[in-house]
Amino acid sequence: MKTAALITAAGMGSGKNRFTPILELGGETMIERSIRTIKEAGIELIVLITGAQQNSLKKIIDDEELIFLDNPDFHETDMFRSVCIGLKYLQNRCDRVLFNPADVPLLSTETLTLLLSTKTELTIPVYNRNQGHPVLISSGLIPKLLKFKGDGGLREALKQTASEIQAVEVTDKTVLLDINSSAEYRELIAIEKSRNNQNAVRPIIGFELDRQTRFFSERTARFLLFIDRSGSIQTAAQIMNISYSKGWKMINEAEQELGFKLLNRAAGGAEGGQSEMTDRGRKLVNAFLEMNKELNETARDLFPKHFGDLF
């Protein structure tokens, strides 16, 4: 069966003061993590519904195969409206749709494999008796969902229209983890580190550039990379979960100590200013990250020699 994926990233969400799809998770944004995992599960047709910060998303996600659809009424409608935009497009283009909100980003390939192995009209992952995301919707259910006019959003629409529902028990708590707070964001990061076996004792070697004061770190380098990709200091600050003023301070201090510009900045325009790294800034960032990588590889090789009897 041909499976497509539908991701909604149109609204800010209830009670949210930041755009969670572009928060950083393990060196990439949450939306990029979701897309990557979905592709690893073998799904090639992916539709992303945008609204808030649609231009930022399109700049960050460098994927020509991704289908972008905009919800122009995202300010006035709930997530179900965005879902329907995607389902209407995907109708007759696939046999089933894997739907996931962008603020439930830490999908696991194990969970996706379990869901994709089913053949029911509607499949829902369940963790500790609670239903989560993503959900797998058969194409036969799409016309019913598009005709649904009741209240209660997608959950109620699925409840009233699906005649065959399969609940799949999973051991992955992240199917329930909707990022609504800083605490949930920290929990998500901890789970991501645990998946990568980062709870084990390991050496972490970091260095910074220093003159009169320490002015350039790995965090500075990552911030510059996100600016270069998005074209926006504001967007990069959101990704890094830091304030705009703190981001500016990092760049200004680094440029002052280095004696050359790291960014080219063009102000104005309907969509605000545009920023990109200078050639010299890009060379600096690449050299810094390459040296940091080599230092950590050397440390991992030395670690067993000096600490093998302890861990």
Q: 126: domain CATH number? A: 3.90.550.10
12 and 132, same domain (yes or no) = yes
The pLDDT tens digits for 225-277 are: 999 988 999 999 999 989 999 999 999 999 999 999 999 987 654 445 689 99
The pLDDT tens digits for 48-101 are: 999 888 888 888 887 778 999 999 988 888 889 999 999 999 999 999 999 999
pLDDT score at 148: 93
pLDDT at 212 over 90: no
Of 157, 176, 195, at which residue does a domain stop? 176
Chain centroid to Cα 102, Å, comes to: 7
91 and 141, same domain (yes or no) = yes
Mean predicted confidence (pLDDT) in 289-304:
93
SS3 234: helix
15 and 93, same domain (yes or no) = yes
Mean predicted confidence (pLDDT) in 209-224:
94
Asked if residue 18 belongs to a domain, the reply is yes
* Largest pairwise CA distance in the chain: 69
In this prediction, residue 168 has a pLDDT band, given cuts at 50, 70 and 90, of very high
Please provide the average confidence, as pLDDT, over all residues in the chain.
89
pLDDT score at 15: 47
CATH at 256: 1.10.10.10
Of 176, 196, 224, at which residue does a domain stop? 176
162 and 102, same domain (yes or no) = yes
9 and 146, same domain (yes or no) = yes
Asked if residue 266 belongs to a domain, the reply is yes
Domain that holds residue 117: 3-176
pLDDT score at 103: 85
Of 160, 176, 192, at which residue does a domain stop? 176
Asked if residue 183 belongs to a domain, the reply is no
Mean predicted confidence (pLDDT) in 8-32:
78
pLDDT score at 133: 94
Number of neighbours of residue 283 by Cβ within 10 angstroms: 11
Dist CA 135 CA 124 (whole Å): 5
Percent of the chain clearing pLDDT 90 (strictly above): 61
Asked if residue 128 belongs to a domain, the reply is yes
Dist CA 110 CA 107 (whole Å): 9
Q: How many domains in the chain? A: 2
pLDDT at 163 over 70: yes
Asked if residue 73 belongs to a domain, the reply is yes
Asked if residue 199 belongs to a domain, the reply is no
135 beta partners: 99
| 94, 2 contact by CB (below 8 A) | yes
Q: Of 91, 68, 78, give the one whose Cα is nearest residue 14.
A: 78
Helices and strands in the chain, H and E counts = 11, 14
pLDDT score at 269: 47
71 and 132, same domain (yes or no) = yes
22 and 162, same domain (yes or no) = yes
The amino acid occupying position 292 is N
pLDDT score at 124: 96
Q: Which residue has the higher pLDDT, 46 or 196?
A: 46
In this prediction, residue 14 has a pLDDT band, given cuts at 50, 70 and 90, of very low
51 and 108, same domain (yes or no) = yes
pLDDT score at 116: 95
170 and 282, same domain (yes or no) = no
288 and 168, same domain (yes or no) = no
| 219, 241 contact by CB (below 8 A) | no
Asked if residue 278 belongs to a domain, the reply is yes
Asked if residue 17 belongs to a domain, the reply is yes
pLDDT score at 198: 54
**DSSP tag of 154:** H
159 and 54, same domain (yes or no) = yes
74 and 165, same domain (yes or no) = yes
